[in-house]
Amino acid sequence: MILLIDSYDSFTNNLANLVKVNAQQEVITIHNDAFGPEEYEDFVDNYLPKFEYVVIGPGPGHPSIDKDVGIIGWLLRRFRDDRSLVPVPILGICLGFQSLCYEFGNEVSKLSQVKHGQIYKIHPIQCDLYPDVELLEANEEEKNPTNPTFDSVRYHSLFVQDINDQIVPLAYCYEPDTKILMAAKHKNLPFYGVQYHPESICSSQGDLLIRNFTQIATSFNEKFRQESLGLDVKVLENDHAVHEKYLIKDGLLEDRARAIYLNKFKIDVSPTDVCDYLYKKDGESNFILLNSASIPGEWSIVGLYIEDQTEVITHSTDEPSILNVSKYKSSLLINLEENIWNFISQKIKNEYISRESINSQLGPFHQRQLPFFGGYMGLISYEEGQHVLIEKMELLCNGNTPDLKLAFIERFIIHDHVTNDWFVISINKFDDGKWVEEFSEELKLVTKINIEDIPFTVAELSSENDKHLITFDFPSKDKYNEQFAKCQEYLHSGDSYELCLTTQLKITLPKYINAWDIYKVLTLRKNPSPFSCFMEFDDCVLISSSPERFLSWKDDENGNKIVELRPIKGTVKNTPDVSVEDATKILKTPKEMGENLMIVDLIRHDLYQFTEKVEVSQLMAVEEYKTVFQLVSVIKGKLDKVGYHGIDLLHSSLPPGSMTGAPKKRSVQLLQDIESLQTNGNVGGRRGIYSGVVGYWSITDDADWSVIIRSVFRYVEDKTCGDSTNTWGIGAGGAITVLSEAESEWEEMYLKLSSALQAFQ
C-alpha cells in the first residue's frame, strides 16, 4: 500500500492513478492537514510504517510556509534529524520535490520565467531513477544528442537553486542562459523527487518513473523494513483519508414502474417558434427551454409547468441549511433543513426508470435514444460549488439570492435536430394519454415567427421616451489592471498556475421589456449556440447562449454510464479573412495551449475520483463555429466504481474548472478577493448565476450541463433595481497566466462584453 500526501492540488488524482497502475498497489490519499501537529508522532509511529512508500504530491504555495505544506515539512525534518528512525521511501512531485530540497538546506526561489502548462525536454542523468536512459529516444535537434531526453510538462513558478552536497542532481531542463534542476535524490536517504509533472496528459515517461521508483522502494524495504510491512491493520481512520461520499445513499438505482405517454410527429417549425406560441397563448413563459441549436448539441427540450403540481426547488448559499420546496403557481411553500444534493439525489432515485423499461413499454419508437424522460431542469450558481467563502459575501438581493433553481418536469416536448422529429411526452402520474394527443395536435397549429417582427436590438423594445433608462456600467480598467497585477503576483509566488479572472457588465432596462422578447432578439438576430437556454423563474431569469458543455452523462450501447466534459480555452473571432489555418496558428501557441492543458489535467483529476477509465479523446483541437474558432478538448470516463453516479461527479467538480483555474481550491479563494475589487462588481466577489451551470438530469439518470457563459441574467429582487428599471448582468472573463499581458487580456474581456452588448444598443 502506498500513501499519497495531497496539498490541495487539482492534479492529485491523476498522480494517484499513475502510481496505482504502475506500482500495482492500492493508493491511500490524505491531505497534508489531515493530521494535526499533536498527532504527528502518532502518525509516524503507528501509520507511516505500514506503507511501502510515500508520494508527496504537488500543490500551491512555498515549502517554507507551514499552512501550505502541513505535515510534509515536519515529516522530512523528522527523518533528517533522527537517523535512528528507519526512513520510509519518499517520492516528491513539484511542491513535494521542493520541500525535500528545502528541508535539507537548499533555497527555493522564484523563477525569472515561470512555466505553467508548458512542455519541455527533460535531460536525465543515468541513475537508479533513470536506469533506462539509453532506451529513451535521442533527439538529434538537441545540442548534445548523446544525452537522450523526454518530454514532460512543467507547472512551477519556484525552483531549487544552488543545491548543496546533501542533494544529488538527477535531471535538468535547459533554458537559453541557465539550467533548472528537474530531478534529485538525497545522498543517503531513500528520498527522491522530480520538479516536472509526470502525471500530465502531455508528459511522457511518467509510467517508467513510477515503475523505477517502486523498484527502488522495494529494494530498500527488503533490506531495511521487512518487519514493519504487510501487517493486517486498519491503516487510516475514516476522518483522515480523502473520501468521496455517495449522494445516492446505497449506490443503487431501482427501476420504478410508471406510465409513459408519448407521441411522435413532424412539424416544420423551430423550438423557439413553439415557445413563442406558448408564450403568446398564455401571456407568460410557463416553460423552460434548453435549445441546443448547433453541434455538439443535437436536441432541444421544452419543459412544461403544471399548475399546482410541478415541484420547484430553491436553494441559497445565503442560508445554506434551508431548502425551499414549492409548487408552480401555488402558495404552498415548504422550508426543509436538508442538504440540497442529498434531496435531489433521493428524488431521482425514487423516480428512476431504466432505458430497458422504457423500451419494453414504448417499443422501437425512434432510431436515436432520447436524452430526457422527465426530471430536473434548471440552473446552479457558481457559489453552489466548492471552496467559495460564503461568509465574505454580502446579500445581493432583497432577501436570499437564488443560487439553485430546479423544476421537476413531468410534461415536456423534445425536438431531434438530426431527424427533425418532434415528441410530446408525459410521465405525469395521472392518466395523461389524452393530454399528449390533444397537445400534439395543437402544436401542429404553430407557425414560424416572422423575423421581420423581431427588432435588431433590445433597445428597440423600449419606447423613445424611455431610451434614457437603458444604461451600461462597465468594469473599471484601472481596477482591472490592479486585479491583473494581483493575479500575476499569485502566479509568480506559486499559489496558482492559472486564474480565470472574470468581470461583469451591469445593464439597466425598463421593467416592461420582458425576458422572452430579449431571448428572441439574442437568438433570432444572432447565431445559434450549442447550449442556449431560456429560464424565467419567479426570482431569477437566465438567457444563455453558451458554447461549452461542462458535463454530460449517459448510457452507451452496452449500458455503461459514460461521462463527457468539453472544456474550451482559446477563442479567435471567425471573420471572412480568418481561415482555419490562421486560427490554428493563433491558438496553437504556448499561452493558449497551456491554458487548455491545465484545465484538461484538472478535469482528469476530477474524473479519477470516480473511475479509473479516463480518456482524452480530443486534445486541444481547433473547432470552427459560425462566429468563432475555439480550442476544445474532450475528456471521457466510464463510471465503473461501484455505487458512483454522474451526480457525484457534478457535485464534486463545481464550480467548473474552466472558470476558476488551477489548483481549484486556492484559485477560487484568491479570485473571490481579486474580483471584489471591481467597483461595479458584487460585494464579496459573488459571481452568482454567471460561471455556474445549466441543464437537466433525467429520471433515466442521464444529464447534460453547460457552463453559463455568454449569457444575460437578472434577479427579480436585485438591490440595484429601480422603480421603473431592472438590472441585468453579463459576465466575461479570461484565463490569466504568466504569459498573459494586461492590455491584451483587458481588450479580450472588453471585446466579449462589447460583443454581447451589441444586441442591447
Residue type present at position 587: L
Lowest mean pLDDT among 77-86, 145-154, 368-377: 145-154
Render pLDDT for 198-229 as a digit per residue (tens, 0 to 9). Answer: 999 999 999 999 999 999 999 999 999 876 56
Q: Point out the catalytic residue in the list 199, 384, 410, 536.
A: 199
Render pLDDT for 679-700 as a digit per residue (tens, 0 to 9). Answer: 888 888 999 999 999 999 999 9
Residue 114 has pLDDT above 80, yes or no: yes
pLDDT band at 233 (very low <50, low <70, confident <90, very high): very low
Rounded CA-CA distance 168/183 in Å is: 9
Lowest mean pLDDT among 518-532, 678-692, 698-712: 518-532
Lowest mean pLDDT among 117-126, 519-528, 574-583: 519-528
Rounded CA-CA distance 471/92 in Å is: 54
Average pLDDT of 700-716? 94
Structure confidence at residue 139 (pLDDT): 45
Average pLDDT of 692-719? 95
Given a contact cutoff of 8 angstroms between Cβ atoms, the answer to whether 56 and 19 are in contact is no
Given a contact cutoff of 8 angstroms between Cβ atoms, the answer to whether 413 and 423 are in contact is yes
Cis ω before 296 (30° cut-off from 0): yes
C-alpha cell at 484: 491583473
Structure confidence at residue 293 (pLDDT): 59
Strand segments, DSSP code E, in 125-189 are 150-161, 167-175, 178-186
Structure confidence at residue 419 (pLDDT): 94
Distance of CA 163 to the CA centre of its chain: 38
* Number of Cβ within a 10 Å radius of residue 201: 19
Residue 518 has pLDDT above 80, yes or no: yes
Structure confidence at residue 147 (pLDDT): 61
Whether 415 is catalytic is no
| Helix or strand (DSSP H, E) at 100 | helix 95-103
Whether 197 is catalytic is yes
Domains of the chain: 2-228 (3.40.50.880), 267-757 (3.60.120.10)
Structure confidence at residue 238 (pLDDT): 58
Given a contact cutoff of 8 angstroms between Cβ atoms, the answer to whether 275 and 289 are in contact is yes
Q: Point out the catalytic residue in the list 52, 94, 397, 487.
A: 94
Residue 142 has pLDDT above 50, yes or no: no
* Number of Cβ within a 10 Å radius of residue 399: 15
What letters, b where the CB count within 10 A reaches 16 and e where it falls short, cover 228-247? eeeeeeebbeeebebeeebb
Cis ω before 655 (30° cut-off from 0): yes
Lowest mean pLDDT among 441-445, 520-524, 724-728: 520-524
Structure confidence at residue 527 (pLDDT): 64
pLDDT band at 288 (very low <50, low <70, confident <90, very high): very high
Rounded CA-CA distance 576/599 in Å is: 30
Coarse DSSP helix, strand, coil percentages of the chain, rounded to the nearest 5 percent = 30, 30, 40
Structure confidence at residue 303 (pLDDT): 98
Rounded CA-CA distance 708/381 in Å is: 9
Whether 94 is catalytic is yes
C-alpha cell at 331: 402558495
Q: Point out the catalytic residue in the list 62, 116, 123, 197.
A: 197
Give percent above pLDDT 90 in the chain: 79
C-alpha cell at 689: 448565476
Structure confidence at residue 122 (pLDDT): 96
Rounded CA-CA distance 41/34 in Å is: 13
Structure confidence at residue 593 (pLDDT): 92
Structure confidence at residue 673 (pLDDT): 96
Mean pLDDT of the chain: 92
pLDDT band at 560 (very low <50, low <70, confident <90, very high): confident
Residue 457 has pLDDT above 90, yes or no: yes
User: What residues pair up with 327 in beta bridges, in sequence order?
Assistant: 311
Rounded CA-CA distance 525/2 in Å is: 58
Structure confidence at residue 239 (pLDDT): 66
| Helix or strand (DSSP H, E) at 24 | none
pLDDT band at 138 (very low <50, low <70, confident <90, very high): very low
Rounded CA-CA distance 241/148 in Å is: 40
Name which residue leads in pLDDT, 145 or 690. Answer: 690
Structure confidence at residue 135 (pLDDT): 55
Structure confidence at residue 35 (pLDDT): 95
Backbone angles phi, psi at 174, to 5 degrees: -100, 130
Strand segments, DSSP code E, in 316-393 are 323-327, 333-336, 375-380
Average pLDDT of 707-724? 95
Structure confidence at residue 117 (pLDDT): 93
Structure confidence at residue 406 (pLDDT): 98
Structure confidence at residue 652 (pLDDT): 94
Average pLDDT of 608-627? 89
Residue 236 has pLDDT above 70, yes or no: no
